[in-house]
């Protein structure tokens, strides 16, 4: 039975829905098909503005390293334009991106084709900044604090042994015993990275010394901010807020950065009560548009009956800032990778997020969601190792460009079904997806040459949609 459901969509999700118009038009309500797909086309809003705003509201989270990055990393996090790696010694390494321009559909298709071709120009390396802690303990205890409900998932290639699922994420990372009587806590505040040095009664804040590598000589501006110049980028650590809590009331203490040597920085702290803990709280300020150092684009969005938003698209960034948990936070290795994300109804938290692709070009073009919370993602790929399931319509590529259909479970932690399809197997059959969605892909078809995605989504017999 085909029905139509009207949804009440919060403003934050409404902002995200702008990306959906990249599939062409956004004026009619999408009907359900056999699994009661609950998607709604929403009015146009400028996608590069609205999507960035919605993602910008997501809190900063820290992802436990469970094999998705170098073994020396304990936790990693994605800010706007940078990736933060925290080592087992509590030290921070930042991989900085640069602002990525936003493109319309025609430009995106052209750039995607260009990205699939070998380039004689080497990729521009991202800038790396490392904060070493001089004189600190070599074996502090580093732990995640305040675990979030969201999980990070990595589906890299077509070997399930290489996938990482249900990777926990935390609101904070605490480093115990960094210096005698001094702990360090990393956390996010309005998408900005903050880190608090917690000085116990009787401990010496003067022992804290940070050595900065990868930047020109640090300097202090007129506001008391610590400024690091890295090539054409600027990383700014705002003047620290220093305070103590007395009977539940915050009492500010005078404090500032202190340049100890050419590349070493500490803190100057005014008079305070040595019988109480002291908090030294700097804030990092560095941001770009949504995206990493390459091209990042959202191309499809769906909204379920609870207001959750499901987004898919593609990225060429190896440092894609996939906010809380990221879309695998490590690119699968191709020049273009698809991603899938689910956000809560308020647009304030990422419920799951994952890359989806192999070692070639992968692009998510459309997404739909059924009443059980399964996300159905479609697009095209030329990866020989795109992740497919054992029981699928077509599990191997055979070379060349193909379409794909992937069904994720409700938590985004596994693939229920994933298959290749030859482009000549695409169909106008109305059983595939709602008519409105077919019209969107029909319009997109002529813009994604030479692949020429033909009208309709990807045809699969009804028995394959389960």
Q: Delimit the domains of the chain by residue range.
A: 11-59+289-464, 73-94+131-155+167-285
SS (H, E, C) 320-372: CCCCCCCCCCCCCCCCEEEEEEEECCCCCCEEEEEEEECCCEEEEEEEEECCC
- The answer to whether the CB of 34 falls within 8 A of the CB of 329 is no
Summarised one tens digit per residue, pLDDT across range 31-69 is 222 233 333 333 334 333 444 445 445 567 899 998 878
The pLDDT-based confidence of 448 (bands split at 50, 70, 90) is: very low
What pLDDT is attached to residue 296?
60
Cross-strand pairs, 185:
174, 196
Mean pLDDT of all residues in 184-204: 87
Segment of 116-130, 228-242, 265-279 carrying the highest mean pLDDT: 265-279
Q: Two tokens at 317? A: 């960034």
Distance CA 340, CA 311 (A): 6
Q: How far is CA 324 from the centre of its chain?
A: 6
pTM over 0.85: no
Residue for token pair 């070009």? 361
Q: 407-436, pLDDT tens digit by residue? A: 888 888 888 888 887 655 444 333 344 444
Is the pLDDT confidence value at 246 over 60?
Answer: yes
Nearest CA among 264, 286, 142 for reference residue 208: 264
Q: What is the pLDDT of residue 98?
A: 47
d(CA 27, CA 9): 15
Question: Which of 3-12, 79-88, 254-263, 319-328 has the lowest average pLDDT?
Answer: 3-12
Average pLDDT (236-250) is: 89
pLDDT at residue 184, rounded to an integer: 96
Burial class from Cβ neighbours inside 10 Å (0-12, 13-18, 19+) for residue 103 reads middle
Of 230, 310, 228, whose CA–CA distance to 13 is shortest? 310
Q: Which residue has the higher pLDDT, 432 or 253?
A: 253
Mean pLDDT of 309-334: 57
Q: Is the pLDDT of residue 329 over 60?
A: no
């Amino acid at each position: 039975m085909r029905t139509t459901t009207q949804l009440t969509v919060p403003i934050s999700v409404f902002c995200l829905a702008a990306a959906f118009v990249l599939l062409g038009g956004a004026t009619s309500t999408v009907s359900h098909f056999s699994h009661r797909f609950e998607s709604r086309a929403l009015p146009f809003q400028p996608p590069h503005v609205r999507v960035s705003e919605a993602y910008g509201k997501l809190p900063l989270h820290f992802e436990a390293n469970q094999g998705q990055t170098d073994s020396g990393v304990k936790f990693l996090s994605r800010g706007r334009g940078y990736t933060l790696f925290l080592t087992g010694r509590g030290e921070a390494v930042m991989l900085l991106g640069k602002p990525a321009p936003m493109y319309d559909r025609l430009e995106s298709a052209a750039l995607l084709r260009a990205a699939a071709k070998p380039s004689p120009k080497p990729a521009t390396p991202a800038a790396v900044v490392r904060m070493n802690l001089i004189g600190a303990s070599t074996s502090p205890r580093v732990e995640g604090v305040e675990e979030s409900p969201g999980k990070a998932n990595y589906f890299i290639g077509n070997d399930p042994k290489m996938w990482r699922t249900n990777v926990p994420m935390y609101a904070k990372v605490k480093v115990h015993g960094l210096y005698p009587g001094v702990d360090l806590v990393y956390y996010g505040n309005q998408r900005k990275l903050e880190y608090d040095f917690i000085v116990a009664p009787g401990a010496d804040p003067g022992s804290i010394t940070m050595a900065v590598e990868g930047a020109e000589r640090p300097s202090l501006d007129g506001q008391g901010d610590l400024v690091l110049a890295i090539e054409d980028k600027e990383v700014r650590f705002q003047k620290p807020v220093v305070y103590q809590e007395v009977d539940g009331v915050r009492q500010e203490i005078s404090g500032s950065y202190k340049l100890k040597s050419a590349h070493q920085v500490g803190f100057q702290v005014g008079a305070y009560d040595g019988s109480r803990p002291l908090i030294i709280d700097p804030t990092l300020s560095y941001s770009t548009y949504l995206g990493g150092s390459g091209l990042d684009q959202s191309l499809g969005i769906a909204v379920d009956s609870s207001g959750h938003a499901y987004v898919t698209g593609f990225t060429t960034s190896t440092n894609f800032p996939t906010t809380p948990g990221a879309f695998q936070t490590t690119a699968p290795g191709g020049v273009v990778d698809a991603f899938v994300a689910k956000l809560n109804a308020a647009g304030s938290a990422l419920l799951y997020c994952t890359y989806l692709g192999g070692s070639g070009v992968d692009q998510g073009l459309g997404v739909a969601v059924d009443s059980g919370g399964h996300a159905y993602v479609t697009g095209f790929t030329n990866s020989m190792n795109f992740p497919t399931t054992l029981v699928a319509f077509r599990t191997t590529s055979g070379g060349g460009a193909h379409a794909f259909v992937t069904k994720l479970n409700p938590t985004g932690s596994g693939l229920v079904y994933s298959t290749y399809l030859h482009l000549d197997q695409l169909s106008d059959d109305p059983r595939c997806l709602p008519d409105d969605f077919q019209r969107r892909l029909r319009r997109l078809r002529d813009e994604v040459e030479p692949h020429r995605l033909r009208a309709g989504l990807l045809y699969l017999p009804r028995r394959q949609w389960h």
